[in-house]
Amino acid sequence: MINHTLSFIGGGNMARSLIGGLIADGWPASRIQVTDTNPDQCAYLAERFGVTTGSDNNAAVAHADVVVLAVKPQVMHAVGSEISAAIQARRPLVISIAAGIRSADLDRWLGGDNAIVRCMPNTPALVQSGATALFANACVNNGQRDLAESILRAVGLTLWLDDEQLMDAVTALSGSGPAYFFLIMEALQAAGVQLGLPEQTARLLALQTGFGAAKMALESDEDAATLRQRVTSPGGTTERALQTLEDGGLRELIARALTAARDRSRELADQLGQ
């Protein structure tokens, strides 16, 4: 892995988290280069991680074995067209972490027949606790799949998809998912305050309870339904609260929310792919 040179086009938060995770995993800073239009961003990355930075995307591609496209989806078409000649000459593995950009559209902008891995990391990647789904197009070989997985695994869990259309469902579940949990934490905190708890006490209890529940679920061999049943005593307080949530249609509401997010993801992909 450390024999590969990695170039990031775009040095924002997600690129920064990936760079930090990779260096922590032993990837040499001397083999990582970053381009960004913001000179302050470049200066920060160079000082913080010791990586090479600049503003010339084509020069970065010309020396890269792997190119990570970490720019905003709205500018991906322009960036892809700009670097297409360099990509065609170098033929690196291209990893896209831009939401809503389908691999076929990106491949077209890059000149065609490129090895592309499309990824959907979520924001907890910023604290090395992300969940990332990956899809490889037909040009990606097994070695490149392993390489892409090792890069994204630096910031958390990685899972492969065989059908790119499922990326819209991933966007709805894990891509947007952190916001759902933040909303639940916010609601729990507010309800705790209404019940008389000091605001800071309610906040800490809500956050730690969310963290603890997720940790229990990750470390258990049981599914969420079984864990829920185990902490629900018949006739107790938890059962009463859960029944209230069920009566309020919580499950149906969550299903509707994810369907809406998935549909919007498809709409955005259609718009961005034009």
Q: E strands of the chain, at which residues?
A: 6-9, 32-35, 52-54, 66-69, 93-96, 116-120, 130-136, 156-160
| Whether the domain at 6-167 and the domain at 175-269 fall into the same CATH topology | no
Would strands 93-96 and 130-136 be described as parallel, antiparallel, or unpaired?
A: unpaired
Q: What kind and span of H or E run contains 247?
A: helix 237-247
Assign domain 6-167 one CATH number from 3.40.50.300, 3.40.50.720, 3.20.20.370, 3.30.70.2740: 3.40.50.720
User: Where are the chain's structural domains?
Assistant: 6-167, 175-269
Quote the DSSP letter at residue 29. Answer: G
pTM of this structure: 0.91
**What beta strand segments (E) does 114-214 contain?**
116-120, 130-136, 156-160
Can you tell me the mean pLDDT for 152-181? 96
Q: Looking at residues 75-86, what average pLDDT do you find?
A: 97
pLDDT in tens, 186-211: 999 999 999 999 999 999 999 999 99
Neighbouring CB atoms inside 10 A of 225's CB total 8
| 15 in Cβ contact with 68 (< 8 Å) | yes
How confident is the model over 169-180, as a mean pLDDT?
96
Question: Is the CATH number 1.10.3730.10 carried by domain 175-269?
Answer: yes
Residue-wise pLDDT for 94-141, tens only, equals 999 998 999 999 999 999 999 999 999 999 998 999 999 999 999 999
Q: What is the DSSP letter of 173?
A: I
Using pLDDT thresholds of 50, 70 and 90, give the confidence band for residue 3.
Answer: confident
Classify 141 in phi/psi space as left (phi over 0), alpha (psi -120 to 50) or beta: beta
Query: Residue 89 — pLDDT band, cuts 50, 70, 90?
Result: very high
